[in-house]
Structure 1
Amino acid sequence: MNALFWVMGRVDGRLVLNIEEVADTIGLEVQTVYNQLGAGAFPIPMRKQGKRWFADARDVAEYLDAQRELARQAHDALRKRMGIAA
C-alpha cells in the first residue's frame, strides 16, 4: 500500500476518515459518495456510526493503489497499441 502514508498524512495520522475526508481524498463530491453508498455501489468499505459514515485509511489507500494500477495498465496497453516502446 504505497498510498497509505499519503492518506494518513492528509488526516494527521488518523486511521479513520469521515465521509468528507474520504470524498476529498478520492476526488469526489460528498453527495456523490452518499448517492453511491445508498445505491450499494461505493467501492470503499464504510461503516455508519450514529448518523456519520467512516472509512479505514487502509481501505482508502488500497482503493487508490488499485486505481493507480488500473491506470498504469491502461496506459501501458495504449502505448503498446500505438507501437511506443516502454
Structure 2
Amino acid sequence: MNALFFVMGCVDGRLVLTLEETADMLGMALQTAYNQIDAGTFPIPLRKNGRKWVADARDIAEYLDLMRKEAREAHDALKRKLAA
C-alpha cells in the first residue's frame, strides 16, 4: 500500500480523516462527496463519528492505490495499441 505514507503524511499521521479531508484526497468537492454518500456510490467506506462522517486512512490509501493500478493498466494498453 504505497499511498498510505502519502495519506498519513498529509494529515499529520492521523488514521481517521474527516469527510472534507477524504474528499480533498480524492480530488472532489465536498458537495460531490455528500451527493455520492446519499446515492450510495461514495468509493470509500465511511462511518459516523458523532454527527460527522469519517474515513480510515488505510481505506483511502487502498482506493488510491487501486486507481493508480487501473490508470497504469489503461496507459500501458493504450501504448501497446499505438505501437501496433
Q: Do the structures match in fold with TM over 0.5?
A: yes
TM-score using structure 1 length: 0.94
User: Where does residue 18 of structure 2 map in the other structure?
Assistant: 18
What is the CA–CA distance in structure 1 between the aligned matches of 2:49 and 2:24, rounded to whole Å? Answer: 20
Q: How many residues align?
A: 84
Aligned Cα RMSD in Å? 0.9
| Displacement after TM superposition at 1:32 (Å) | 0.4
Could you tell me how far apart the structure 1 residues matched to 2:58 and 2:83 are? 37
Q: Deviations over 1:4-63 (max 9, x none)?
A: 010000000000000010011110000000000110001100001222000000000000
Give the letter aligned to residue 82 of structure 2: M
Structure 2 equivalent of residue 55 of structure 1: 55
Partner of 1:82, secondary structure, is: helix
Structure 2, gaps ≥5 residues long: none
Cα distance between partner residues in 1 of 2:13 and 2:3: 13
Q: Identify unmatched segments of 5+ residues in structure 1.
A: none
Identity of aligned residues (%): 63
